[in-house]
Chains A and B, each alone.
Chain A
Amino acid sequence: MKTGTYIIITGLIFLSGITYPVFSQEETIISPYIQLQYFKDSDDLRSLKTTLTYSHDRIEIPLAGMSISFYSGDTGRELLGTVSTDEKGVARFELPQDQDLPVKNDGLWIFRTEFSGNDTIEAVVSDLSIKDVKLDMVLSEADSVKTITITAFTPGNDGDIPVSEEVVMIYVPRMFSLLPVGEAWLNEKGSASLEFPTDLPGDPEGNLTIIAKFEEHETFGNVERASQQKWGIPSVNPAPVAHRALWTKTPPMWMIITLSILLTGVWGHYLFAIISLIIIKRESKKQKKL
């Protein structure tokens, strides 16, 4: 066999095993999903959140850098603002506190989010009706029993109307997510009470953040009220015994000694070689003088 043939066969064997992406331009138009959510935080700051995604191989993929418009009102919509989606496909619009929102007869705000589409992605809109709710939380302690009292009212023409037969979730934030600690069912007076557990670890002072929430409520959206209280067990986290100690500030002594010996030995020899070269140079100068 000729050498060239050998090389070709070898190359083919090599290339056959390695996969690389073949990019193909798919001409299909993407049909995106749009989701509009309403949020009201503990400081009564309101915001609208739009998530724009599409599905590929049953995996939800975000659409980043898309311009999303937010509107309020049912007829004669008013443009609130335009925001681009981030890498998670999320566009968030903070409603100014003094924003005057048109209210329908039934006390609902109407919001709309719109993506006007482009050459490769279809246009899509989503509407949301929200009723404002005043959510309050009172934390009290009597005879070592810790109680959370929740009240919820919606504004009406003749004063506040209690929210009844609805559930408010109670959470305590932990390291990775919110820990549910109870569900408060609102009675006909718009009020609910529940006992808070006594065995939750807090920070070193025993502080806990307690959050009451309407979650993805079809009328109220996401509304929360948070409060901090010393209701937790003060946590004491002693530093674990570092058996290997390689992440401590100072390396183990044996490591310093080994490295020093190795480097001194090696660089000592380098020095010897460099000095030899210098002497060679001097020798030539001496020879010339002679």
Chain B
Amino acid sequence: MQADRKLLKDLTPELEKTSTGWYITFAVFMVFFIVGVYSLILQIDKGHIVTGMRDNVVWGFYIVNFIFFMGLSYSGALISGVLHLFNTGWRKPVIRMAELITVISLVIGPFFIFFCIGRLDRLYYLFVYPRIQSPITWDVIAISTDLIGCFIYLYLSFVEDFAILRDYTDLNVPPWKKKFYKILSLGYDGSPVQKKLLSRARTVMASMIIAIAIIVYSVLAWIFGVTLQPGWHSTIFGPYFVIAAVFSGTGLLIILMWIFRKVYHLEEYITKRHFVNVGVLLTVIAAFYGYFTFSDYLTKWYGSIKMDSILIDKLFTEYYTLFIFANYIGILLPGIIIALPRFRTIPNITVAAVIAVLALWVNRYIIVIPTLETPFLPIQDVRTEWIKYSPTWIEWSLTFAGVSVFAMLFMLISKIAPIISISEMQEKDEAEVLK
């Protein structure tokens, strides 16, 4: 299968050679990962006493990270699915990154659940004795279904590129990589029948992963929403979580676009237009996300249910800085930076995206922790540190290990297949020819 020579020349060098900078960066992430593994061993050996989680606050950083990574995954699925279905012209250089965000986050997210479980040896009970009535079972079914769906979708998007790389004779890669391309390209040669089959399968899977992303993240939100805990018991938690996920995922997409554009010198392919388009998307989603946040807190505050009032009071006192950062700065600042044309530069849009992603993580933190610190029954004669959650270095290191694995997987995949889809970019050329 032939491809445009220029595209191949521009997008394949990263598959052929690896810079020293790449190795150093990878080693740094590997150190974080190793520290994380050491922390995990300590946690398994000594038990959850080494974390900040206690009888009252039983969910800490791990659940926050789980929700965060799952959100990134679903947003990646939504963004790539929607861009594919609507055949958006500018999607082509960025759609693969969105697809990779989906799968990599989905692989990492559930590990944080494993870190949170005290008796990992009983984990298989979930599969052996599932109760369909339990939201946890819904989550297990939903996440495993989603994971398989996203892998299929990602693979479908790679088939054409693998075929192109297989047939690119000038590609200077080790034999195992060539063999790898040959096996995974399934003998695809771009015949009309194959093209039609692949295109139809991708369209079906694109629409499917959009639906699954919404359902699965709603299920995750319902784990909170169906409980009667203050701050969690909300009918809008499903859509609120979905919007929040897309918000963080869009932010992460911008950050990745900026990194790969800089590191792999893709300025010609990922232009300011792409940043502005994804940035505008971020702004629109920020508006929806802000609206949902305001609605949720307003109804709770106005309702004046005792426990909700205590919680909101806590958010505006003990958690004031985090609350303001997550729900004011994190929503308004990205919107302002992107909405005003004079600020609309690539670095500014990237900074807006960084703020959005961090704010969303903090938002998850202040959804999970303050509620658990506000139990219905008064706590007497309990140590202060057992009531108030403070993450320990073990939780910090496992969090950084999760982020490092995300980065390392992205780096590794970018060495196996181009970070910009050659086949997608080629389609653009064909469309232009037809025009």
Binding site for B on A (CB under 8 A): 3, 6-7, 10, 13-14, 16-21, 57, 59-61, 246-248, 251-252, 255-256, 259, 262-263, 266-267, 269-270, 272-274, 276-277, 279-281, 283-285, 287-288
Roughly how many angstroms separate A255 CA and B133 CA in the complex, as a whole number? 8
A267 contacts across to B, CB distance below 8 A: 145
Number of A-B contacts (CB under 8 A): 118
Can you sample 12 A-B contacts with CB below 8 Å?
A6-B348, A7-B351, A7-B354, A10-B354, A17-B322, A18-B391, A255-B132, A267-B145, A272-B204, A277-B155, A280-B198, A284-B194
Cβ–Cβ contact A13 & B329, under 8 A: yes
B152 contacts across to A, CB distance below 8 A: 270, 273-274
Chain B's interface size range is 35 or more
Binding site for A on B (CB under 8 A): 52, 131-134, 138, 141, 145, 148-149, 152-153, 155-156, 159, 186-189, 191, 193-194, 197-198, 200-201, 204-205, 208, 211-212, 215, 319, 321-322, 325, 329, 347-348, 350-351, 354-355, 358, 362, 365, 381, 383-385, 390-393, 396
Contact of B145 among A263, A284, A288 (CB under 8 A): A263
Cβ–Cβ contact B385 & A21, under 8 A: yes
Cβ–Cβ contact A285 & B187, under 8 A: yes
Q: Classify the interface of chain B: helix, strand, loop or mixed.
A: helix
Roughly how many angstroms separate A272 CA and B393 CA in the complex, as a whole number? 47
Given contacts A57-B384, A251-B131, contact A280 B186 (CB under 8 A): yes
- B125 smallest CB distance to A (angstroms): 16
Roughly how many angstroms separate A256 CA and B141 CA in the complex, as a whole number? 13
Cβ–Cβ contact A3 & B351, under 8 A: yes
Given contacts A269-B204, A277-B201, contact A284 B131 (CB under 8 A): no
A16 contacts across to B, CB distance below 8 A: 321
Contact of A18 among B131, B322, B384, B393 (CB under 8 A): B322
Q: Classify the interface of chain A: helix, strand, loop or mixed.
A: helix
Cβ–Cβ contact B347 & A3, under 8 A: yes
Roughly how many angstroms separate A269 CA and B201 CA in the complex, as a whole number? 9
Contact of A20 among B211, B347, B392 (CB under 8 A): B392
- A21 smallest CB distance to B (angstroms): 5
8 nearest CB pairs, A to B:
A284-B187, A17-B321, A276-B201, A17-B322, A6-B351, A246-B133, A251-B132, A3-B347
Q: Which of B149, B329, B381 has the most CB of A within 10 A?
A: B149
Q: Which of B52, B138, B156, B194 has the most CB of A within 10 A?
A: B194
Cβ–Cβ contact B204 & A21, under 8 A: no
Cβ–Cβ contact A14 & B325, under 8 A: yes
Cβ–Cβ contact A270 & B133, under 8 A: no
8 further contact pairs, Cβ within 8 A, besides A6-B348, A14-B362:
A6-B351, A252-B133, A262-B215, A269-B205, A269-B208, A281-B186, A283-B194, A285-B187
